[in-house]
Protein backbone atom coordinates (compact mmCIF):
# COMPACT_ATOMS: atom_id res chain seq x y z
CA UNK A 1 0.00 0.00 0.00
CA UNK A 2 1.29 3.50 -0.83
CA UNK A 3 2.56 5.35 2.26
CA UNK A 4 0.12 8.25 1.70
CA UNK A 5 -2.89 5.93 1.46
CA UNK A 6 -1.69 4.06 4.56
CA UNK A 7 -1.31 7.38 6.43
CA UNK A 8 -4.82 8.52 5.48
CA UNK A 9 -6.42 5.20 6.43
CA UNK A 10 -4.52 5.20 9.72
CA UNK A 11 -5.59 8.78 10.48
CA UNK A 12 -9.24 8.00 9.82
CA UNK A 13 -9.07 4.84 11.91
CA UNK A 14 -7.45 6.65 14.82
CA UNK A 15 -10.07 9.38 14.65
CA UNK A 16 -12.84 6.81 14.81
CA UNK A 17 -11.17 4.95 17.66
CA UNK A 18 -10.67 8.11 19.71
CA UNK A 19 -14.28 9.05 19.05
CA UNK A 20 -15.48 5.82 20.65
CA UNK A 21 -13.94 6.65 24.03
CA UNK A 22 -13.38 4.24 26.88
CA UNK A 23 -16.61 4.89 28.79
CA UNK A 24 -19.31 2.58 27.53
CA UNK A 25 -16.88 0.41 25.59
CA UNK A 26 -18.28 -2.63 27.39
CA UNK A 27 -21.91 -1.62 26.96
CA UNK A 28 -21.90 0.47 30.15
CA UNK A 29 -24.07 3.54 30.12
CA UNK A 30 -22.55 6.71 31.54
CA UNK A 31 -23.85 10.26 31.76
CA UNK A 32 -21.30 11.33 29.14
CA UNK A 33 -22.65 8.76 26.67
CA UNK A 34 -26.33 9.54 27.22
CA UNK A 35 -27.63 12.23 24.88
CA UNK A 36 -30.60 14.33 25.92
CA UNK A 37 -33.28 15.26 23.43
CA UNK A 38 -31.82 18.78 23.44
CA UNK A 39 -28.33 17.45 22.57
CA UNK A 40 -29.72 15.41 19.67
CA UNK A 41 -31.55 18.48 18.38
CA UNK A 42 -28.37 20.55 18.54
CA UNK A 43 -26.44 17.88 16.61
CA UNK A 44 -29.27 17.77 14.05
CA UNK A 45 -29.17 21.58 13.80
CA UNK A 46 -25.38 21.47 13.31
CA UNK A 47 -25.71 18.80 10.61
CA UNK A 48 -28.49 20.76 8.87
CA UNK A 49 -26.39 23.95 9.01
CA UNK A 50 -23.30 22.20 7.61
CA UNK A 51 -25.39 20.67 4.82
CA UNK A 52 -26.88 24.07 3.88
CA UNK A 53 -23.33 25.47 3.68
CA UNK A 54 -22.28 22.68 1.29
CA UNK A 55 -20.28 20.48 3.68
CA UNK A 56 -20.38 16.70 3.32
CA UNK A 57 -21.39 14.80 6.48
CA UNK A 58 -22.58 11.40 7.60
CA UNK A 59 -23.49 9.71 10.87
CA UNK A 60 -21.21 7.00 12.22
CA UNK A 61 -22.85 4.69 14.77
CA UNK A 62 -20.44 2.92 17.11
CA UNK A 63 -21.68 -0.68 17.39
CA UNK A 64 -20.24 -1.12 20.90
CA UNK A 65 -21.74 1.97 22.52
CA UNK A 66 -24.51 2.81 20.05
CA UNK A 67 -23.19 6.39 20.11
CA UNK A 68 -23.79 8.40 16.95
CA UNK A 69 -20.90 10.55 15.82
CA UNK A 70 -21.33 13.28 13.23
CA UNK A 71 -18.55 12.87 10.68
CA UNK A 72 -17.52 15.80 8.50
CA UNK A 73 -15.35 15.94 5.40
CA UNK A 74 -12.28 18.13 5.76
CA UNK A 75 -9.35 18.50 3.37
CA UNK A 76 -5.88 17.32 4.32
CA UNK A 77 -3.12 19.19 2.52
CA UNK A 78 0.30 17.61 2.30
CA UNK A 79 2.90 20.30 1.74
CA UNK A 80 5.62 18.78 -0.43
CA UNK A 81 8.99 20.21 -1.41
CA UNK A 82 8.50 22.25 -4.56
CA UNK A 83 10.70 22.52 -7.66
CA UNK A 84 11.88 26.09 -6.90
CA UNK A 85 13.60 26.14 -3.52
CA UNK A 86 14.91 29.56 -2.38
CA UNK A 87 18.42 30.23 -3.66
CA UNK A 88 19.68 32.18 -0.64
CA UNK A 89 18.98 32.47 3.09
CA UNK A 90 17.44 35.96 2.90
CA UNK A 91 14.91 34.84 0.27
CA UNK A 92 14.17 31.62 2.18
CA UNK A 93 13.64 33.54 5.44
CA UNK A 94 11.36 36.07 3.74
CA UNK A 95 9.23 33.35 2.10
CA UNK A 96 9.05 31.42 5.39
CA UNK A 97 7.81 34.54 7.21
CA UNK A 98 5.15 35.13 4.53
CA UNK A 99 4.17 31.44 4.74
CA UNK A 100 3.74 31.68 8.52
CA UNK A 101 1.66 34.86 8.13
CA UNK A 102 -0.56 33.02 5.65
CA UNK A 103 -0.96 30.08 8.05
CA UNK A 104 -1.85 32.49 10.86
CA UNK A 105 -4.45 34.13 8.65
CA UNK A 106 -5.98 30.75 7.74
CA UNK A 107 -6.26 29.95 11.46
CA UNK A 108 -7.68 33.37 12.42
CA UNK A 109 -10.29 33.24 9.65
CA UNK A 110 -11.37 29.73 10.71
CA UNK A 111 -10.30 27.87 7.57
CA UNK A 112 -7.56 25.78 9.21
CA UNK A 113 -7.26 24.61 12.82
CA UNK A 114 -4.59 21.94 12.54
CA UNK A 115 -1.32 22.59 10.76
CA UNK A 116 2.38 22.17 11.22
CA UNK A 117 5.70 20.99 9.84
CA UNK A 118 7.16 17.50 10.02
CA UNK A 119 10.26 16.95 12.11
CA UNK A 120 12.36 15.29 9.42
CA UNK A 121 13.85 16.52 6.16
CA UNK A 122 11.65 14.40 3.91
CA UNK A 123 9.76 15.29 0.75
CA UNK A 124 6.59 16.04 2.74
CA UNK A 125 7.33 19.20 4.73
CA UNK A 126 4.06 19.64 6.66
CA UNK A 127 0.28 19.33 6.78
CA UNK A 128 -2.78 21.55 6.99
CA UNK A 129 -6.36 20.44 7.66
CA UNK A 130 -8.78 22.82 5.94
CA UNK A 131 -12.36 23.15 7.16
CA UNK A 132 -14.05 24.12 3.89
CA UNK A 133 -17.11 22.76 2.08
CA UNK A 134 -15.26 21.91 -1.14
CA UNK A 135 -11.86 20.79 -2.33
CA UNK A 136 -11.84 23.75 -4.73
CA UNK A 137 -12.00 26.22 -1.83
CA UNK A 138 -9.27 24.34 0.08
CA UNK A 139 -7.12 24.34 -3.07
CA UNK A 140 -7.66 28.08 -3.59
CA UNK A 141 -6.73 28.88 0.02
CA UNK A 142 -3.65 26.64 -0.08
CA UNK A 143 -2.49 28.27 -3.31
CA UNK A 144 -2.67 31.75 -1.74
CA UNK A 145 0.38 30.73 0.32
CA UNK A 146 3.40 32.74 -0.93
CA UNK A 147 5.68 29.72 -0.45
CA UNK A 148 3.44 27.68 -2.75
CA UNK A 149 3.18 30.56 -5.23
CA UNK A 150 6.98 30.76 -5.36
CA UNK A 151 7.26 27.02 -6.11
CA UNK A 152 9.05 26.32 -2.82
CA UNK A 153 6.16 24.06 -1.77
CA UNK A 154 3.51 22.12 -3.66
CA UNK A 155 0.08 21.36 -2.17
CA UNK A 156 -1.32 17.84 -2.47
CA UNK A 157 -4.95 17.77 -1.29
CA UNK A 158 -7.00 14.79 -0.06
CA UNK A 159 -10.57 14.58 1.31
CA UNK A 160 -10.38 13.52 4.99
CA UNK A 161 -13.16 12.53 7.38
CA UNK A 162 -13.16 13.25 11.12
CA UNK A 163 -15.66 13.24 13.97
CA UNK A 164 -17.08 16.72 14.48
CA UNK A 165 -15.91 18.25 17.74
CA UNK A 166 -13.11 15.80 18.54
CA UNK A 167 -9.63 17.18 19.18
CA UNK A 168 -6.15 15.83 19.58
CA UNK A 169 -5.10 14.26 22.87
pLDDT tens for the chain, 169 residues: list them. Answer: 554 444 444 444 444 444 434 333 333 334 444 445 555 668 889 999 999 999 999 999 989 999 889 999 999 999 999 999 888 999 999 999 999 999 999 999 999 989 999 999 899 999 999 999 999 999 999 999 999 999 999 999 999 999 998 877 7
Domain boundary among 42, 72, 102: 72
Q: Is the Cα torsion angle 112, 164, 117, 5 positive or negative in sign?
A: negative
Predicted local distance difference test score (pLDDT) of residue 166: 82
Would you say residue 26 lies in a domain? no
- Any domain includes 149: yes
What is the model's pLDDT at position 11?
46
In a domain, 27, yes or no: no
User: 142 and 102: one domain?
Assistant: yes
Q: What is the CATH number of the domain that holds 136?
A: 3.30.70.1060
Per-residue pLDDT, 2: 54
Q: How many structural domains are present in the chain?
A: 2
Does 8 reside within a domain? yes
All residues at 6 or more sequence positions from 140 whose CB lies less than 8 Å from its CB, including other chains: none
> What pTM, to 2 d.p., does this model score?
0.73
Rounded to whole angstroms, how far apart are CA atoms 19 and 86?
42
Same domain, yes or no, for 80 and 65? Answer: no
Q: Determine the Cα angle at 17 with ends 128 and 53, to 5°.
A: 50
Q: Residue 167 falls within a domain, yes or no?
A: no
pLDDT value of residue 90: 94
- Same domain for 79 and 140? yes
**Within this chain, do residues 137 and 77 fall inside the same structural domain, yes or no?**
yes
User: Do residues 83 and 60 share a domain?
Assistant: no
- Phi, psi torsion values for 67, nearest 5 degrees: -70, 145
Amino acid sequence: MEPIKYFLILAIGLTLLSACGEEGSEGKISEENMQSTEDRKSVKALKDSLTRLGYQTFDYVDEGTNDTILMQQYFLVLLRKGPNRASDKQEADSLQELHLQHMGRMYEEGYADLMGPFGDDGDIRGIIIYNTPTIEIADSLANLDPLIQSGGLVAEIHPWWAGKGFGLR
